[in-house]
A and B are shown apart, each in its own frame.
Chain A
Amino acid sequence: MDEIAAAIGIDPVELRHRNFLHVGDTNATEQLMREPVILDQLLDRALKESDYHARRAQFARENPASAVKRGMGIAAFYHGSGFTGSGEVYLNSLAGIDVTRAGKVRVLVSNTEFGQGTNTILTQIAAEALGIGYADVAMAAPDTDVVPNSGPTVASRTSMVIGRIIERACSQLLALLREHAGLGATFTPDEFFAACERYRAVRGEVVSLCRYEAPPGIFWDDQRYHGEAYGAYAWAVYVAQIAVDTVTYSAEVENFWAVQEVGRVIHPVLAAGQIEGGIAQGVGFALYEKVVWQDGRMANNQMTNYIMPTAEDVPPIHVVFEEIPFQFGGFGAKGLGELPHDGPAPAILNAIRDATGVAFNSIPLLPEDLYAGFAAAQPAEETVVR
Chain B
Amino acid sequence: MRGNAAMHDLVAPGTLGGVLELLAAEPGAWTPIAGGTELMVAFSAGRLAAPKLVSLWGIPDLRAIEVSAQSIVIGAAATFLDLRRHAVIAAEFPLLAKAASWIGSIANQGRATLGGNLVNGSPAADSSPALLAYDAKIELISARERRRVPYSEFHTGYKRNVLAADELLYAIHLPRRFARHMQYLRKVGTRRAMAIAKVALGATALLEKGAIREIRLGAASLAPFPTRLVQTEAALLGQAVTREAAQSARRALLGEVKPIDDIRSTAEYRSRVAVNLLDEFLLQLRPEGSRP
Contact = CB atoms under 8 A, between A and B. Distances in A.
B265 A368 contact: yes
A296 to B, nearest CB: 16
Contacts of A299: 263
Contacts of A269: none
Contacts of B195: 307
Contacts of A384: 275-276, 279
Nearest to B243: A383
B263 A382 contact: no
A313 B192 contact: yes
Q: Bin the interface of chain A by size.
A: 20 to 34
B52 interface: no
Interface string A116-147: 00000000000000000000000000000000
Nearest to B190: A307
A310 B191 contact: yes
Contacts, number: 60
A247 B187 CA distance: 11
A310 B263 contact: no
Q: Bin the interface of chain B by size.
A: 20 to 34
Contacts of A360: none
Contacts of B194: 304, 310
Contacts of B156: none
A313 B195 CA distance: 11
Interface in A337-386: 366-368, 371, 382-384
Interface string A163-185: 00000000000000000000000
A257 interface: no
A312 B276 contact: no
Interface in A295-311: 299-300, 304-305, 307, 309-311
Given A288-B190, A368-B269, 17 more contacts: A247-B280, A248-B276, A249-B269, A249-B272, A252-B192, A299-B263, A304-B41, A305-B263, A305-B264, A307-B195, A310-B191, A310-B194, A312-B191, A313-B192, A368-B266, A371-B268, A384-B279
A247 B274 CA distance: 9
Contacts of A371: 268-269, 272-273
Contact of A248 (B188, B247, B268): B188
Contacts of B277: 247
A248 B270 CA distance: 9
A2 to B, nearest CB: 26
B114 interface: no
B254 to A, nearest CB: 9
B274 to A, nearest CB: 11
A292 interface: yes
A312 B273 CA distance: 22
B192 A310 contact: yes
Interface in A239-291: 246-250, 252, 288
A311 B273 CA distance: 25
A305 B250 CA distance: 30
Nearest to A290: B190
Nearest to B199: A248
Contacts of B263: 292, 299-300, 305
B193 A310 contact: yes
A202 B116 CA distance: 76
13 contacts: A67-B280, A248-B188, A248-B276, A250-B188, A292-B263, A305-B264, A307-B190, A307-B195, A309-B191, A368-B269, A371-B273, A382-B275, A384-B279
